Amino acid sequence: MPDAGYLTIGKVVKKLQAQYPDLSISKVRYLEDEGLLNPSRTPSGYRLYSQHDVHRLETILYLQKNRFLPLSVIKEQLDGKTGEGGSALDAISSPTLLPQDEEAAEKLHPIDRMPELLGVPVSFVRQLSEAGVIPLKKSPHGRDLVDGRDFPLIRACDELRHFGIGPKNLRQYVTAANRESAMFEQALVVFARKGGGVEMELTDENRKQFGMAFQQMLVLTDQVRDTLIRRQISKTFSQMEQ
């Protein structure tokens, strides 16, 4: 099979790491194991990624980072909505995928501009703040400000309202995040010890390794969480059918 225009897994990771620093070869392989990627193979078994494969991977990473979507949902959207002749990102694009997010993330925005910027009511953003999902900051003049980095999270919470999941329901995730962060911190301490000691110098390389380890832990714990929830939901509906 000709390899013109195809990239090895290492080159794919190197190409995308500038935009997604936590990307690693192991994560790309994990996405393949989960059925989200299906690269070609050489006769000797080496993976070769086409431009379509790379674009699909970029889409997956974007949706994870900016839309906070679980892999199962991303797979359904990519497999179910990718039309012939169109890219996966084009197929699932919507008003919630705004190209100015990167620019907005660098700024604080008055809360009264949320209907204009995000299409959500000011009252909804305040409810998210009261539930602890997002913090609000104060301007020198006392105005409530929203961090642009929270825009994707606000949109995700807004989409959940269509399923009857509101800000009050999300308090449990705030509590869980606070609890789980302690677990991740301890795990990173163990990781540091294995790497040569907790007090090792925080070089750029060490920070990169920590970031990759943390990202992998998030991916794996998401898989555990998704599986446990799916199992319980399946059990509940199975009992209802009896």
Q: What is the pLDDT of residue 225?
A: 85
Instruction: Look at the pTM and tell me if it is higher than 0.85.
Output: no
- Average pLDDT (110-130) is 92
> Would the pLDDT of 122 be above 70?
yes
Question: Does a structural domain hold residue 189?
Answer: yes
> What's the mean pLDDT when you consider all of the chain?
80
Cα separation, 197 vs 87, whole angstroms: 46
Dig out the tokens for 155 from the structure: 């949109």
Question: Does a structural domain hold residue 241?
Answer: no
**Quick one: three-class SS letters along 146-173?**
EEHHHHHHHHHHHHHHHHCCCHHHHHHH
Residue range(s) defining the domain that contains residue 84 = 9-92
Residues 64 and 105 in one domain: no
Burial 32-61 (b: 16+ CB within 10 A, else e): beeebbebeeeeeeebbbeeebbebbbbbb
Cα separation, 171 vs 82, whole angstroms: 34
The helix (H) or strand (E) run that includes residue 137 is: strand 136-138
Q: What CATH number does residue 18 fall under?
A: 1.10.1660.10
Q: What is the pLDDT of residue 159?
A: 86
Percentage of residues in the chain with pLDDT exceeding 70? 81
Q: What confidence category does residue 45 fall into, taking pLDDT thresholds of 50, 70 and 90? A: confident
Q: What is the pLDDT of residue 67?
A: 67
Q: What confidence category does residue 201 fall into, taking pLDDT thresholds of 50, 70 and 90? A: low
Residues 6+ apart with CB under 8 A from 241: none
Burial class (CB in 10 A: 0-12, 13-18, 19+), 211: middle
Residues 85 and 122 in one domain: no
For the stretch 79-103, pLDDT in tens is: 765 444 444 444 444 434 344 456 6
